[in-house]
Chain A
Amino acid sequence: MNKIQRQVAKSSFGSKAATAARASVSSTQAARVVNRAAQIRTEKSQDKRAPK
């Protein structure tokens, strides 16, 4: 287990219930959320840069 994994495990995300919840989600589902978050982030920064 590397440092970030240990820190997540020690945080509230590392409780038994939270760990079980995280484990119930597939990598594909998680990747879709992560990709969509990146897309939203890009759109947000483009909106900020756009002249008003």
Chain B
Amino acid sequence: MHLVQHLRQQGFQGEDWDFFVNELARYGLAVVSGWMRSGLMASKCAEKRIVAPALPDAVRQDPEAIDEIATETVAEAIVHFRDEVLVPGVWDPAKGAALKTFFIGQCMKRYANVARRWLNHDLRPSTEVVTHERDVLDRGRVTGVEDDVLRSLTAQRILEGVDNPRAARALVMDALGYSNAEIAIDLGTTPDGASSLIKRARAAIRRQHSTPEGGTA
């Protein structure tokens, strides 16, 4: 009995399915993020007649961006692979195409939409972001000296043209008391992705502004 037959017998659920999903996640992430970093993804999609946006070099060199897009792409692909390929029995081992090829095909389909959504959020004109975020910053809550410093620094970074506008936006929303889930929706990422973006941005700001004695300037 082959893998898919075995999983079908169990209704594509349970421990074995969970194990397989984990393997799909690992394989999908490795392939999708590798193709994104190398710039191969657009041409791979074009071979399959999938119209996918080309990623700017700045995005391809940003590990956080690659991670966010690849995570969402592979997660969506897993759900559709189960519901549209495995359950209805679309994949036929007798026809020669490998199961992993089918899965990567599903990743490419999902990638096109995910990358488009991500880019629409990330590439807003910076003047719009500055105006809006300065406005919301002014109304933000202050819970302590650290938040106050972070707010000032965040505002400064935004005004100077932040390297990563997504991180700036996440920081501002966090300072205003938005939940990670709300920030994730705004940025088109996962709550975990939003959380780690905020943590990294806060850590980077602290590193930049810490004194040699370890205090905060």
Contact = CB atoms under 8 A, between A and B. Distances in A.
Interface string B122-164: 0000000000000000000000000000000000000000000
A44 B79 CA distance: 9
Contacts of B106: none
Contact of B100 (A13, A36, A37): A13
A21 B30 contact: yes
Contacts of B76: 37, 40
A35 B99 CA distance: 22
Contacts of A34: 18, 21-22, 25, 75, 78
A35 B191 CA distance: 10
Contacts, number: 99
Say whether chain A's binding surface is mostly helix, strand, loop, or mixed: helix
Contacts of B79: 37, 40-41, 44
Interface residues of B, number: 36
Contacts of A50: none
Interface in A18-32: 18, 21-25, 29-32
Number of contact residues on A: which range applies? 20 to 34
Interface of B: 1-3, 6, 15-16, 18-23, 25-31, 34, 67, 71-72, 74-76, 78-79, 83, 98-101, 190, 192-193
Interface of A: 3-5, 7-8, 10-13, 15, 18, 21-25, 29-37, 39-41, 44
